[in-house]
Structure 1
Amino acid sequence: QFPGWSTRADGSIVIATGNDDALGVYTCTPYNSYGTAGASRPTRVLLKDPPTFTVRPKEEYFQEVGRELVIPCAAHGDPPPTVTWGKVGSVGQSGAQVDGNSSLIFHPLLKEQHGLWECTATNAVASVSTATTVHVLGTSPHAVTNVSVLPLLLAANISWEPGFDGGYFQRFSVWYTPLVKHPPRAHHDWVSLAVPPGAQHLLVENLQPDTSYQFSVLAQNKLGSGPFSQIVTSVPRGFPVTTVPPEPPAVTVRILLSPPRALSANETTRGVLLCWQPPAQLSVPLSGYALELRQDRGGWEVLERSIPGTESQVLVPGLIKDAFYEFRLVAFAGSYISDPSNTVNVSTAG
C-alpha cells in the first residue's frame, strides 16, 4: 500500500493521488470467519488526462460589423477532447461557425453576435471552459438593462445600466405614459424626455398621484436607435397627510476647483491611454472626473462621467479607423464642475 491509499469499511479502496503507482489490475476478495468465496473479477486502472487549453482566446475582441472575425481555441487531453463554442445567454452559436481547428468564425460579424462567448473542451474525464467578449463596432446601441423606478412625491426617479454603445457616443431618453384600461399605447403616443449626456438616471416630475405609469428607456447614437428597454410600471406617491417643515435657507460657499492638469495621450495595443494630474487648487473633496471627446471637429460629448477621483489614467478602446479625435477632462466635486483641461489629439488614420 502506497502513501495516500486507504480502504473504507465497505471494502472500497481510495487512491488520493492518481499516478503511475495506481496503474495495474486489481481484484477484491471478501471474507469472514467462515472463509471466502473467492476473488472478484479483475478490473484495470488506467490514467486519463482532463482537457487542457493549448490556445486560449484573448480576453476581448473589437471588430466592425460586417467584417470577418476569427477567434482561436484549442485543447488536448486523453482521450482527445471535443471543443465547442456557445454564446452565453443564447442557444447554440448564434450564426457563427467553427472550423477544423476549433476556431470560432464570424463571417460576416453581426450586431446580435456582440457579447460573451465561451469555448468548452470536454472529454470523459472533465469539462473545462474559457471565455472572451466580442465587441461589435459600427452599430446602433444595444438595449439598456436593469431599468428601475423609484416612486417619489408626484415624481419618479428612473435609473438603468447602459448597453453597448456600438462604438459611438450614445444618448438616452425616458419614455412614459399613464396606464389606462384600454389596450397599451404605441411608443409614439408616449411622452419622451431627453437625458443629460452621460447620465444614467432621470427624475420625471409633475406626475399624477396614485396613478400607474409605464416607463421605458431608449438609447440612440449617430447610426440610429436601439430597441426600447423592458417596460416597468410604478405608481408615484401622493401628498403626505402631515406637514413637512420648510428647509433652512441655503448658505453660499465659495468653492475653488481648478481644471485637471497635463492631460496626455499614448497609443497602446488595447486603445488610447489618457493620463493626467489632479487639479492644483481644490477646496472641497474631489468626487471624480468626466471625460469628453469630439470626433472630426464635431460637438463635444461626454464619453465617461464616473471616473473615480483617485484615478489618474483611463483606457479608451475601440476607436474607429481613419478618424480624428480630441479629448479633454473636467473635475467635479459634488455639484461643482471645473473648467476643461488642456485638449489632446488622437488620429487613427493609416
Structure 2
Amino acid sequence: KAKVIYAPREVHLPYGRSAILDCHFRANPPLKNLRWDKDGFLFDPYNVQGVFYRRNGSLYFSRVDESHNGDYTCTPFNELGTDGPSPNIRVIVQRPPVFVVIPRNVYRRKLGESVEIPCDARDGEDNHKPIIVWYKKDGTSLPVGRYSIRDGNLTIINIREEDRGYYQCSATNEAATITAETEIIVENVPPKAPYNLTALAYPNSVHLTWMAGVKRPSTEYSVWYKPAEVGEWKTMKISSKKSLEATISNLNPGREYEFMILSKDDQGREYEFMILSKDDQGDGLFSKSIRVWTKGVNPETSQIAHHIGQKLGPPEDVRIHATQDGYLVIWNPPLVGLEEFKIYIVKWFQGPKEHLVGTADIVKWFQGPKEHLVGTAETKNTSYLITDLEEGFDYTFQVIAMSFSDYQTGSERVPFKVPPYRRIRSVSIGLVTGIAFVALVVLAVYFVKKKFCGPFGANNRKNSK
C-alpha cells in the first residue's frame, strides 16, 4: 500500500510568492492518486484558483495568500490501497523579510584599507529581526581574522587582492530568504598573466589548458594562435568565464603552431599583441607563448591518421525513466575510443507542435516544420535529468559523444511519450462521477417502485383470488 513516510508539523509559506507543499510518501506499485484535505474537508486544486497539482502530487501555490492558512493532510493511493492520511501539516502564511538598509552597488578600496558595508532588514509582519548572513557569491569563504559582522553590517580590514568580488547579504525568516548584492573593487593591484600553458597535440587540433593568474569573477580569456614562422594571429574567445581549457580545431597536420592566452575582464581593459594596456580600473596581461607541433601524417596510413579522434564510438543503450523529479536519461559509455572522449551532448526533440520546452545549463533552441530540437545539454556523466517535458507529447532522445578533436558520434534516437497525467486524472474523476450518478438513478427508481407499486400489486393479488 502507499504510505506517508514523513510530514512536517509546520510549513511556512511566503505571502505573495509561489510555494510548494510536498507530500512525502512511498508507493510500490506506483502512485495512482493522491488526495489532499484542508481543515477536515477535501481540498481539490481543480476547484481552487491559483493552486495546482504537480506530477508527484505536491500542491503548487502560484501566489500565496491568507486563505491558504490551515491544517492539511495528504493521502496517497496505489493499486493496493493506502495506509492512511498523513499527520496534520500546519500551513502558516508569513510575509517575507524586508530590507530597510541595503549596500551600495560598488565599494572601491586600495590595498590595506578597510571597508564597512551596511545591511539591515526587518520581518514582514512585525519588528522582529530576520537572520542576516554575509557570504561571497563565488562560494569562497570570508577572510578569516579580517572580517566582522555587527548589526548586519560587514566590515573587512586590511583589504587584499583576493577580497575583490561580489558579496551578498541575505535576510531569512521562516517564510523566505531575500538577498542584496554588492561588489568590492580593489585598486592598484599588480597584474598577473595566465601561466602554466600546456598543450595536447592531435593531427588537426590542439587541446590547451592553463592556470589563472588572478582569480576574478569577471575575467574573460581568448586564445591567440598562428603558424610558428609566418601568418597572422587568429583569436578564439572562450565562452565560459570559468573555463581554463580550450580546443583549437581545423589545424594542418605536421606543422608547428604558436599559442598564447589573453586574459581580460569587463572593467574596460583592451590589449594589443604583447602590449599591456592599462586604465584607472585595473590591468591585464598576455601569457607567455608556447610552440606546439601538430601530429604528422604517415602517407601509408594517411586515411587512418586523418581520422584520428574519430575512433570514439557512440553512446550505447540509451533509455529514459520517469522519476518524481522529472525524466532521467541514462546511457552506457562508448565501447571504443574512450581515451578520446571529451563530453556528452544530450538532445531532445518534440513532435509537430512548435514551442519552447527544454532548459538546461547549456541550451540551444531550434524550430522546424516537423520534429524539432527543443533542448540540448552537456555533461560528463552517463545520465541527465530533464525536469520540464510537457505532458501528452511525443519526444525523441539522442546522446552524442564528442572527442577532444570535436568529432561527434551519436547514439540511435529513442522515442518516448510523456503520459497526459492531467487528462488521465480528469477522465478518472469524470468516470467515477458518472458511475455515482447512474447508481443514484438506479436507487431512486428502486425506492419509487417500492413505495408506489408495492400496495397496488398486493391489491391485485387479493382481487384475483
TM-score, length-normalised on structure 2?
Answer: 0.31
Q: Choose between structure 1 and 2 for higher RCO, CA contacts under 8 A separated by at least 6 residues.
A: 1
| TM-score, length-scaled by structure 1 | 0.40
Higher share of residues assigned helix = 2
Bigger fraction of residues in strand: 1
